[in-house]
Chain A
Amino acid sequence: MKIKFIQIVTLAFLAVFQVALAQQTVSGTVTDADGLPLPGATVVVKGTSTATSADFDGNYTIAAANGNVLVVSYVGYNAAEVTVNGATANVSLSSSTALDEVVVVGYGSLDKKSLVHAVETVDSEELEKIQATSITQALQGTVSGVTVLTTGGVPGADQTIRIRGIGSINASASPLIIVDGAIWAGGLNSIPQEQVESISVLKDASAAIYGSRGANGVIIVNTKKGKKNSKGTFTFSTNHGSQSEAVDIHKVLDTDTFSKYFFEAVTNNNQYVLGDSNADARAKAAASFVEDLGYNPYGTGSTSPIDSDGNLIGAPLWNTNWYNALVNQNPRRVDHNITYLGGSEKTNYFFGVNYLHQEGQVKTTWFDRFSLRSNIDTEVTDKFSMGLTMSFNNTVSNTPNQAGSGFSNVIQWIYTLPSYYPLYERNPDGSFVLDAAGNKVYDYGSRAGLVNGSRTILTDENAAGALDYYKFENNSYNFNASSYMNYKISDKLNFKTTLVYGRDSFDGFSYVHYLYGYASSVGGRVSQDRNIVTTVSSNQQFSYSDSFGKSSINIDAIYENYALKVSSVGAQGVGFLPNVTVLNGSTTPEGVSGAVSEERLESFITRLRYNYAEKYFFEGSYRRDGSTRFAKDVRWGDFFSLAGSWVVSNEDFFDVDGIDFLKLRYSYGEVGNNRGIGYFPYMQLFSTGWNNLENTGVLSQGVVDPMLSWEKTAISNLGLEFNLLDDKISGSLDYYTRESIDLIYDKPLAISTGNASITTNVGSIKNSGVELTLNANNVIDKENLKLDLGFNITTNENEITELTQEEFINGTKKWMVGKSLYHWFIREWAGVDPADGYGMWYKDILDAEGNPTGERETTKEYGEATRYYIDDKTSLPKYTGGFNANLTYKNFDFSTLVYFSLGSYQYDSEYAGLMGGFERNEQGHPDLARRWQKPGDITDVPLLLNASNDFNATSTRFLYKNDWARVKAITIGYNFSDEVNNKLKTESFRIFLQGDNLFTITGHDGIDPEQTLSGTTNARSSLMRTISLGLNIKL
């Protein structure tokens, strides 16, 4: 004991002695390999307790003697040791593993090791692998837990994005989109992928820092910036692609088959519905054939081309292939980019310009984008820096109707109008009608005259004519500027002020022809709508960071406000001369409209981060938001998150072979949702605009809940991150739950109250699931051959945990506690009665009190049939995920990305329409060959019947299992050797062949498996398969 005491005293004495005699002030800069400062790096004099941390510029000063060893460390970097020799000691740290990756999070960024949340990032390298007209396409299959659906084939259309399930019913369930720190009000299709540095997805309580708008997760897009002290690099890339449908669409009948089937359908009606004898039924069907259809493609005028035995007299004069007439056989995609980035000692810069032209499946569909961006940051003095991010984007598109049930929807048209009807006007004898100039004229099916003049369906329209004669041109101009000033008050305290201004101008124009189509009776129609969306937000942020011994702390205090204003005007006029397509030429104005809407948000945010010895990390955030979307008394909401992580592998006791890194983390937070509910959803108002001739008119809006407030979501996440086998395998495993309560919900009311629903805070939904990401790095690692593999899979369980009423039927779904939002609830098809060919459905047998006995029987009355949950089938997939591989061999590189979705069910209403069996005079599917034709036939296709029936009404007959996988991208590239580059004076030169959506494996033909969350189809145009050849040159 005594000895020990003496030792301690001696040591202390020595230490003091040392300090007193040899100590000097040593200073230096800690940087990374690229020379970028590492603020907050820890510098310790080895063997002592003397320590400091670097300031925002990576500068440090410490007292140390010559010969002392300084240990410099920084999260994500290999620690370095330098021996003091003089007053200066600059240190450059090399990054340790993938953990050096800096991850963009809300209001800042973090190195991956310090991350306590489930945040995933897609960087520019991964973005390059696909051709993403809208950048969020890159998230599908690459980020676990994120559902991305491309609905339809309109080029540049925004995706449906859901993070970790569906957390809202009536309010928006989409994530919040932040671009360069500000809420993005425009479409994401205006941002070219080449200008994006990273896309971060905040999946868990990390979104709580966005408070009232973060409940559905947050996607943060950061655009590229140059690095200081780096050579300016000029990149030129170009990409030329050719496209076709990713999945072939349904087949349809030709004229002869249609004629025969139609004859049969009318005969069946005469015989089975109207009670004629078979002979009479046939004779009548033959006699009324031309009258029923209004046309005769067999050139026999009003004489029936079909006899009472159903034999056609000859070959048809036309057999219209509507598909060929309406679909672009070779749509192109062209993408050009120029970027320039780099930096001097004080300033870094990025400049980018993009031009994209993409055509769609439907003729005359195209999308053009022009985009310009520059990002500049500069250090004015040691303490004062500023920066500016500016972008201008213009998108122009012509988008004819290609979804929904409208007459001119091209896809609907192909599936509705039989090839029996001509593309061009025909005389009763079948010859072409020619105009004065001798040209063919599109047939609109609405001329006088019984034969070849007047259709019973889609009258006054011709989809090919609509493509030729109508215009639907949308112009969007998006301007964004964000500037900041940053002032370092002291080494520990920083202040940053940011102002962001965004302006989105939308100009929608449509022209419907003066002579042809649905506005011909009024001499054509021009509609023009202009919306100006202005957003202004400002942000004041104090940041304080400090360290004490092994502890380091970081505190942010932020005040933010946000204002949005939408100003719209619209005008519509009719009566145009030929070739006049501007409103000035209108003889009669048909309507004017205009409105201004505003929204504001005011927020106070604070966040604390603490880390002890890089083993224990803690983070807490709190945000208070006030929103104009709610009444004054319920306007303010409080949101928070708490999270911690434990880097087990940094513990001294942890020494497991093969485990290089192991982190456990947990987070919990409460976040809000106020989006997708209109601007003043709590006010009971009368809407204007219901004028009656010259008298002003107003109408009472639906009932409202004046105390409507936030939807709240409690999010928890338990995660594990690991690197194994010398970092050869890395990955993460997360279990999450998201429970949304006080849903903003359109509670249905009995329609006899005159209100269909009231929007109020009721109900709750829970989403839970597991996400697994595995990366195998350097599976093969030879000099000439390298292979990396990646895989991720996600499960999601969606469950309604509270509803106001026992159950609520919403279209093809029934919402009930314990079920998901997307469980199918429809009638169950019981097949075809072999006796009469009629379709059947199941119905419950009821007891005397009207309760189901559990037994069931079949019925031919659709209305009587019982709707069931169909074996717990849902439209949401049970498993989704992705697989990717990157291979380099010598100068070649190869990458592929596969997305898969398993366990969902889809209802194909297009196929249902085609299988209608000529209830109306519409097109049919070749599968009708399997129809019931005579008593005793055993089949699942009912008889053809030209009378109203329910055979193809919504039931399990058209519900299909929707397991699918898609090879989203395959890229093969060749990088020219250094020799070539030297000759060409290029830094790098790459040519590549890129294929998007090359293969799609589905269980049901005729429709793209990627439709909607609810699993319903809507006659949408197709997603495209693109094959392109590209070139990338760096100078």
Chain B
Amino acid sequence: MKLNRIFLLITLSFFLFAGCEEGFLDNPAPTSSVSSSVVFSSKAGVESFISGIHRRARAQFTDTHNGGLYSMYYTRDVKANDILTKATWFLWDYDHTYRAPTYGRTKFSWEFPYYMINQANIGIKGLNESTGLAESEKNELMAQFLGLRGFYYFQLALEFNHHPTYDPTAKAPPIYTEPATDSKPMSTITELFTQIKKDLSDASTMASSSRINKTYLNKNVIEGFKARVHLYLREYAEAEASAAAARSGFSVVNSEYGDGFNDMSMSEVIWAMAQSTDQSNYYYIAPHVFSDHENGPYQGTFFNNDFVQLFSETDSRNTFYHYYSTNTSNWFAWVTSKFTFAFDSDMIMMRAPEMMLIEAEAKARQAKYTEATTLLETLQTTRDASAVSSGNTGQDLIDEIMVERRKELYCELGVEWFDAKRMRTGINRTGNHRVFLDLEPDDKRFILCIPQSEIDANEFIDDSINTARL
């Protein structure tokens, strides 16, 4: 009797709290993450991965001036002559002092593209190994990963190297074409551009013309990437063809110009990063948060009086006005109403007019002056009803197109800096700047140092890599 009760107590205790549950240790499983097999077993799965990558690119990566692709673009803007910034975020880029191995800009401009490249490599590998997808689906998805990889390698080439014509054997960022944990040595700028062109060309072959929305990569966007790369490499025939392909199907509706550049449904938008109130990067979005003095907190972006004077009164791109001072010798005389800041502002990453101008310039540089003039004037008269033809040909026409690029694309993707790098012209600050400085052609301030954290962890790279960069 007594023994029975003890036995019962003991058995019950064990039964209740212990052995009863089969696989006590096997049951818990992650609830807010999914495995690779789920991602790569269906088109929807892979698309969710691509969605995640696009979201990451527009989120908050490090800090307000190292937030995402948008901050890389705005950095290029403040480094040149048309735009100036007050002493707020990006001020060190404006001063050209934010480029040493230990600095945030240096690390971000390296880490962020490589982060995206790794995600693309995971996608490429996953797709190659996936068995559940039709060939056409695979191609459409593969094009997006390859397009992203080519695009981000191009960003690295722009940030960390001079133009390939400066030194075709210059050491360039390492190339990874599959997910890796082992580091690789520096490549050369020639090898890097070979990779970029191969990725984009493969992507273009496989790309679909349709897509979920304008935040995703389709054939137009990939051709747009190619157009930029070819223009940069001075491969004008290819640039012309790609630019034409990129803008095919897009029109310029000038009445949308004044709407604040914060809505990807604008007809001329080819590629964008869209936000919504519940998917916002809050106060990170550049240039909107800095250039919108009436809604944004930073009031950072101002314009060079010399640049403002390039616009006619009737040009719809003349968005400049005096907010603090009418004295145009003050650096804070001009602000813009081009961008409207809100938590759900979209970031416009590529527009048809950019492609028109690439096409026009490429034609002009191939001496197809009439065709180039037609394209240029189409844009000019769309923007300004009272625009008159300049009648320029030859180098004058090319120069006019280069100016038109600045007028059309200011504060969007660092056009002036991009053009100075590709034409190796240097940048001279003029007008009412706050900090005056001149960048010689191929000035080392056009490139960043290799980040110290890479040097510390990469067995193939040592401090000497920065000797010529510092």
Interface residues of A (CB under 8 A from B): 274, 291-292, 446, 448-450, 454, 456-457, 459-460, 485, 487, 489, 495, 497, 499, 518, 521-522, 538, 540, 559, 561, 574, 588-591, 595-600, 602, 626-628, 632, 635, 679-680, 683-693, 695-701, 703, 748-756, 758, 805, 808-809, 850, 861-864, 920-921, 947-948
Option from B10, B47, B117 in Cβ contact (under 8 Å) with A754: B117
- Chain B residues near A454: list those with CB within 8 A: 299
With both beta carbons as reference points, the residue of chain A lying nearest to B276 in the complex is identified as: A693
| Chain B, range 169-188, C-beta contacts under 8 Å to A | 173-174, 176, 179-184
Tell whether A751 pairs with B297 under 8 Å between CB atoms, given A679-B30, A685-B30, A699-B52.
no
Complex Cα distance A570/B359, Å?
Answer: 50
Verify A700–B122 contact, CB threshold 8 A. Answer: yes
A-B contact pairs, 6 of them (CB 8 A): A457-B88, A489-B6, A687-B32, A750-B183, A850-B463, A948-B95
Verify A755–B118 contact, CB threshold 8 A. Answer: yes
Q: Which of A291, A489, A680, A752 has the most CB of B within 10 A?
A: A752
Tell whether A695 pairs with B174 under 8 Å between CB atoms, given A561-B18, A862-B100.
no
Option from B17, B51, B119, B436 in Cβ contact (under 8 Å) with A540: B17
Option from A540, A559, A595 in Cβ contact (under 8 Å) with B31: A595
With both beta carbons as reference points, the residue of chain A lying nearest to B13 in the complex is identified as: A497
Verify A487–B6 contact, CB threshold 8 A. Answer: yes
Complex Cα distance A921/B86, Å?
Answer: 12
Shortest distance between the CB of B43 and any CB in chain A (Å): 12
Verify B35–A750 contact, CB threshold 8 A. Answer: no
- Chain B residues near A627: list those with CB within 8 A: 25
Complex Cα distance A292/B91, Å?
Answer: 13
Tell whether A690 pairs with B56 under 8 Å between CB atoms, given A538-B18, A751-B457, A809-B456.
yes
Stretch of B324-332, B368-376, B417-425 on the interface side: B324-332
Verify B86–A456 contact, CB threshold 8 A. Answer: yes
Stretch of B347-355, B381-389, B446-454 on the interface side: B446-454
- Dominant SS at the A interface? mixed
- Asked if B166 is at the interface of the complex by the 8 Å CB criterion, the answer is no
Shortest distance between the CB of A703 and any CB in chain B (Å): 6
Verify A686–B114 contact, CB threshold 8 A. Answer: no
Verify B454–A698 contact, CB threshold 8 A. Answer: no
Shortest distance between the CB of B444 and any CB in chain A (Å): 12
- Chain B residues near A628: list those with CB within 8 A: 25, 28
- Asked if B53 is at the interface of the complex by the 8 Å CB criterion, the answer is yes
- Asked if B150 is at the interface of the complex by the 8 Å CB criterion, the answer is no
- Chain B residues near A522: list those with CB within 8 A: 277, 343
Q: Which of B33, B97, B463 has the most CB of A within 10 A?
A: B33
Verify B117–A751 contact, CB threshold 8 A. Answer: no
Verify A602–B10 contact, CB threshold 8 A. Answer: no
- Asked if B312 is at the interface of the complex by the 8 Å CB criterion, the answer is no
| Known contacts A457-B88, A750-B183, then 11 further A-B pairs from the complex at CB < 8 Å, ordered by chain A residue | A456-B87, A495-B6, A495-B9, A522-B277, A589-B278, A590-B343, A632-B26, A685-B30, A691-B279, A863-B102, A948-B97
Complex Cα distance A684/B121, Å?
Answer: 15
- Chain B residues near A686: list those with CB within 8 A: 33-36, 38-39, 49, 52
Minimum-distance CB pairs A-B, first 8? A754-B118, A538-B17, A750-B183, A690-B52, A697-B52, A697-B51, A598-B28, A863-B100
Complex Cα distance A700/B45, Å?
Answer: 12
Shortest distance between the CB of B134 and any CB in chain A (Å): 20
Shortest distance between the CB of A701 and any CB in chain B (Å): 7
- Chain B residues near A459: list those with CB within 8 A: 88, 297-299
Q: How many residues of B contact A (CB 8 A)?
A: 105
Verify A698–B111 contact, CB threshold 8 A. Answer: no
Shortest distance between the CB of A517 and any CB in chain B (Å): 10
Verify B17–A754 contact, CB threshold 8 A. Answer: no
- Asked if B98 is at the interface of the complex by the 8 Å CB criterion, the answer is yes
Shortest distance between the CB of B187 and any CB in chain A (Å): 10
Verify A690–B181 contact, CB threshold 8 A. Answer: no
Shortest distance between the CB of B340 and any CB in chain A (Å): 12
Verify B14–A540 contact, CB threshold 8 A. Answer: yes
Verify A752–B183 contact, CB threshold 8 A. Answer: yes
Option from B35, B59, B86, B278 in Cβ contact (under 8 Å) with A590: B278
With both beta carbons as reference points, the residue of chain A lying nearest to B38 in the complex is identified as: A686
Verify A749–B9 contact, CB threshold 8 A. Answer: no
- Asked if B248 is at the interface of the complex by the 8 Å CB criterion, the answer is no
Tell whether A758 pairs with B181 under 8 Å between CB atoms, given A596-B31, A751-B453.
yes
Complex Cα distance A497/B17, Å?
Answer: 10
- Asked if B61 is at the interface of the complex by the 8 Å CB criterion, the answer is no
Tell whether A693 pairs with B213 under 8 Å between CB atoms, given A538-B17, A632-B26, A750-B458.
yes
Interface residues of B (CB under 8 A from A): 6, 9-10, 13-14, 16-18, 24-36, 38-39, 47-49, 51-56, 59, 86-88, 91-92, 95, 97-98, 100-102, 107, 110-111, 114-119, 121-122, 173-174, 176, 179-184, 212-213, 215, 274, 276-280, 283, 293-295, 297-299, 323-325, 330-332, 342-343, 435-436, 449, 451-454, 456-459, 461-464, 466, 470
With both beta carbons as reference points, the residue of chain B lying nearest to A567 in the complex is identified as: B31
- Dominant SS at the B interface? loop
Verify B30–A626 contact, CB threshold 8 A. Answer: no
Verify A697–B323 contact, CB threshold 8 A. Answer: no
- Chain B residues near A808: list those with CB within 8 A: 456-457
With both beta carbons as reference points, the residue of chain A lying nearest to B40 in the complex is identified as: A686
Verify B10–A495 contact, CB threshold 8 A. Answer: yes
Verify A701–B55 contact, CB threshold 8 A. Answer: no
Verify B47–A695 contact, CB threshold 8 A. Answer: yes
Option from B33, B56, B87 in Cβ contact (under 8 Å) with A688: B33
- Chain B residues near A948: list those with CB within 8 A: 91-92, 95, 97-98
Shortest distance between the CB of B345 and any CB in chain A (Å): 12
Complex Cα distance A63/B449, Å?
Answer: 91
Q: Which of A497, A756, A758 has the most CB of B within 10 A?
A: A497
Shortest distance between the CB of B463 and any CB in chain A (Å): 8
Complex Cα distance A697/B45, Å?
Answer: 9
Q: Which of A448, A454, A698 has the most CB of B within 10 A?
A: A698
- Chain A residues near B18: list those with CB within 8 A: 538, 540, 559, 561
- Chain A residues near B114: list those with CB within 8 A: 751-754
Complex Cα distance A596/B464, Å?
Answer: 49
- Chain B residues near A489: list those with CB within 8 A: 6
Verify B86–A692 contact, CB threshold 8 A. Answer: no
Option from A521, A589, A687, A750 in Cβ contact (under 8 Å) with B33: A687
Complex Cα distance A518/B49, Å?
Answer: 33
- Chain A residues near B34: list those with CB within 8 A: 685-686, 688, 698
Verify B298–A683 contact, CB threshold 8 A. Answer: no
Verify B31–A696 contact, CB threshold 8 A. Answer: no
Verify A703–B6 contact, CB threshold 8 A. Answer: no
Verify B119–A699 contact, CB threshold 8 A. Answer: yes
- Chain B residues near A680: list those with CB within 8 A: 29-30, 33
Verify B56–A699 contact, CB threshold 8 A. Answer: yes
Tell whether A693 pairs with B274 under 8 Å between CB atoms, given A635-B25, A863-B449.
yes
Verify B457–A749 contact, CB threshold 8 A. Answer: yes
Verify B325–A693 contact, CB threshold 8 A. Answer: no
Shortest distance between the CB of A682 and any CB in chain B (Å): 11
- Chain B residues near A750: list those with CB within 8 A: 174, 183-184, 454, 457-458, 461
Option from B10, B49, B294 in Cβ contact (under 8 Å) with A700: B49
Complex Cα distance A683/B32, Å?
Answer: 12
Verify B56–A274 contact, CB threshold 8 A. Answer: no
Tell whether A753 pairs with B182 under 8 Å between CB atoms, given A748-B457, A863-B100.
yes
Verify B48–A538 contact, CB threshold 8 A. Answer: no
Complex Cα distance A864/B27, Å?
Answer: 54
- Chain A residues near B24: list those with CB within 8 A: 561, 600, 602
Shortest distance between the CB of A531 and any CB in chain B (Å): 14
- Chain A residues near B38: list those with CB within 8 A: 686
Option from B47, B56, B92, B324 in Cβ contact (under 8 Å) with A448: B324
Verify B32–A688 contact, CB threshold 8 A. Answer: yes
Verify B119–A700 contact, CB threshold 8 A. Answer: yes
Verify B277–A590 contact, CB threshold 8 A. Answer: yes
Complex Cα distance A602/B33, Å?
Answer: 25
Verify A699–B53 contact, CB threshold 8 A. Answer: yes
Verify B299–A691 contact, CB threshold 8 A. Answer: no
